[in-house]
C-alpha cells in the first residue's frame, strides 16, 4: 500500500510587504547609470548584487582579522576562526540542518555536486546502476553524473518535462527502479523558473531507498529552505546567488552519509595525522575541506544570510511572486514575444524569445537601454533543444527590483521591435 504523499507547498509565501525603496539604498551598485540610463539589473539568476553589509564584512575581515583559520594561536587567527565557524552556524540555521558538521563549505553549487559525484557516487555506484536527473537541469547537474557513469559503466536517465516546463512526475516515478542509486534534480530551473515538487520527488525516491541530491542554486535566494522538512540527503547552493561573495558555496549532507563518504581532495584541513605509510582524516566537516578555505567568502556569506533573514524569506517570496505576475503580464502583451516556461509554480524568472530577433540582439539593445538581462542557453542546452530554440533572453528578478524597472524592460523590448521588425 502506498503511503500518502504530503501536499506540495505553494511557491510564494504569505503576503508581507517590503520597503523596496529602503532596501535599494543598501545596494550601492544599483545607483549607477549605464549608457546614460539608470541601471535596471534583471540578471539575478546569474548572480545577485551585494548589499553594503556584505561588502563591509569582507572588507573588515581583510582590514582587521586577516589570518588563516583553525591552527593559529594568535589573536587574528582566533578571530578569523570564530568568524569563519560562525558563518557555518549561520548556514546551519538558514537551512535548518540538524548538525553544524553537516555543512561543508565548497566553491559553489557546481563543486558541491562534483563532490557528491566523486565521493558518494564512486563509492556507491557500479556497472549497470542508474542515476535519474530531469530534463531541466543545469549543465552542472548533468556533466558530473555523465563523468561518473562513464567511469563506472552506469547509466544516466532523464525524467521528461511537458510543454509548460513542468516535470512529469509519473514519468519520473517510472524511471526509479531497483537499479537506481541516486536522484539529482533542481529545486528551481535556472532557464525556465520552474519550481519542482521536490518534497514529493524525495518521498517517492526514499520509498525505494534511493538517495536524493537537490540543486538549490536558484531556490535559496527566493524561499525558505528546510532540509529536515524536505528530508533531502544532499542540498547544494551558491553564496553569490544569495547576495554573498562569489567562489563560495555550501554542500549540506546528512551526517551518516558524510561519515561513510571518502574524502574528495587531499591536503590541509582534511588531515588529522600523516605518515608516509598512512593518513588519518579529520572529523566532519573538515574531512571535505582540503587546503586553505575561502575565509572571506564564508564570512561574507554569513553576512548575506543575516541580511536576507533580516528582510524575511516569507516577505521576499511574496513580493517576488507579485513582481513575477506583473512582469509576465507586461512581457506577454508585447507582440511577437513568446515566454518559454509557463509552469504553474515558478520562481521569478522569465525566459522569452522574440519573433525574428536573435536573443543576443535582444540583449544588446536592452543593454543600450540600461537593462541588464542574460541571453544564450543558460548552461542548459538540453532545455533549449527541448523547446526548439537556440537561445532565450532571460529576465530574472530579485527583491530589490521594482514594477517601474519591469516597465523599463517592456519599453526596451518595444525598442528592440522598432530596430529589428
Q: Which residue has the cell 519542482?
A: 196
Residues linked to residue 233 through DSSP beta bridges, in sequence order: none
Q: Which residue has the cell 527566493?
A: 222
Catalytic-role residue among 147, 314, 334, 379: 379
Closest CA to 306 of 104, 96, 57: 57
Question: 391 with 384: CB under 8 angstroms?
Answer: yes
- Phi/psi at 88 (5° precision): -65, -40
Question: 288 with 271: CB under 8 angstroms?
Answer: no
Q: Is 149 a catalytic residue?
A: no
Element of type H or E holding 395: strand 392-396
The two beta strands, 40-41 and 371-372, are parallel
Task: State how far the Cα of 357 lies from the Cα of 247, in Å rounded to an integer.
Answer: 35
Closest CA to 296 of 110, 48, 50: 50
* Plot region of 35 (φ>0 → left; ψ -120 to 50 → alpha; else → beta): left
Task: State how far the Cα of 389 lies from the Cα of 385, in Å rounded to an integer.
Answer: 6
Question: 331 with 410: CB under 8 angstroms?
Answer: yes
**251 vs 70, 91, 213, 219, 235, CA distance in Å?**
20, 10, 10, 14, 6
* 3-state helix, strand and coil shares in percent for the chain, rounded to the nearest 5: 45, 20, 40
Active site residues: 379
Amino acid at each position: 500500500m502506498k503511503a500518502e504523499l504530503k501536499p506540495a507547498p505553494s511557491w510564494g509565501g504569505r503576503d508581507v510587504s517590503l520597503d523596496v525603496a529602503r532596501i535599494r539604498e543598501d545596494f550601492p551598485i544599483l545607483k549607477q547609470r549605464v549608457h546614460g540610463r539608470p541601471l535596471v539589473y534583471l540578471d539575478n539568476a546569474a548572480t545577485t548584487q551585494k548589499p553594503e553589509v556584505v561588502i563591509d564584512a569582507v572588507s573588515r575581515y581583510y582590514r582587521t582579522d586577516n589570518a588563516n583559520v583553525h591552527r593559529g594561536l594568535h589573536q587574528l587567527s582566533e578571530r578569523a576562526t570564530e568568524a569563519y565557524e560562525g558563518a557555518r552556524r549561520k548556514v546551519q540555521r538558514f537551512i535548518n540542518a540538524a548538525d553544524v558538521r553537516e555543512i561543508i563549505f565548497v566553491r559553489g553549487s557546481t563543486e558541491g555536486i562534483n563532490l557528491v559525484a566523486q565521493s558518494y557516487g564512486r563509492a556507491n555506484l557500479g556497472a549497470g546502476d542508474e542515476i535519474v536527473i530531469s530534463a531541466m537541469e543545469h549543465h552542472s547537474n548533468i556533466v558530473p553524473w555523465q563523468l561518473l557513469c562513464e567511469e563506472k559503466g552506469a547509466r544516466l536517465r532523464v525524467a521528461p518535462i511537458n510543454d509548460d516546463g513542468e516535470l512529469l512526475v509519473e514519468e519520473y516515478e517510472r524511471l526509479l527502479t531497483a537499479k537506481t542509486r541516486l536522484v539529482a534534480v533542481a529545486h528551481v530551473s535556472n532557464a525556465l523558473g520552474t519550481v519542482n515538487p521536490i518534497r514529493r520527488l524525495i518521498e517517492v525516491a526514499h520509498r525505494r531507498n534511493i538517495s536524493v541530491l537537490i540543486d538549490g542554486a536558484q531556490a535559496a535566494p527566493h524561499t525558505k529552505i528546510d532540509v529536515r522538512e524536505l528530508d533531502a540527503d544532499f542540498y547544494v547552493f551558491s553564496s553569490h546567488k544569495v547576495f554573498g561573495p562569489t567562489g563560495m558555496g555550501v554542500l549540506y549532507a546528512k551526517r551518516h552519509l558524510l561519515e561513510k563518504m571518502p574524502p574528495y581532495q587531499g591536503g590541509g584541513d582534511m588531515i588529522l595525522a600523516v605518515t608516509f605509510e598512512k593518513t588519518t582524516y579529520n572529523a566532519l566537516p573538515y574531512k571535505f575541506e582540503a587546503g586553505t578555505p575561502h575565509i572571506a567568502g564564508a564570512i561574507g556569506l554569513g553576512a548575506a544570510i543575516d541580511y536576507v533573514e533580516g528582510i524575511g524569506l516569507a516577505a521576499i517570496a511574496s513580493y517576488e511572486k507579485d513582481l513575477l505576475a506583473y512582469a509576465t503580464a507586461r512581457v506577454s502583451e508585447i507582440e511577437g514575444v513568446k515566454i518559454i516556461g509557463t509552469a504553474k509554480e515558478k520562481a521569478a524568472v522569465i525566459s522569452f524569445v522574440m519573433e525574428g530577433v536573435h536573443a543576443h540582439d535582444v540583449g544588446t539593445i536592452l543593454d543600450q537601454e540600461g537593462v541588464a538581462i542574460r541571453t544564450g542557453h543558460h548552461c542548459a542546452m538540453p532545455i533549449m533543444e527541448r523547446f526548439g530554440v537556440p537561445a532565450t533572453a532571460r529576465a530574472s528578478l530579485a527583491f530589490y527590483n521594482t514594477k517601474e524597472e519591469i516597465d523599463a524592460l517592456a519599453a526596451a523590448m518595444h525598442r528592440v521591435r522598432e530596430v529589428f521588425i
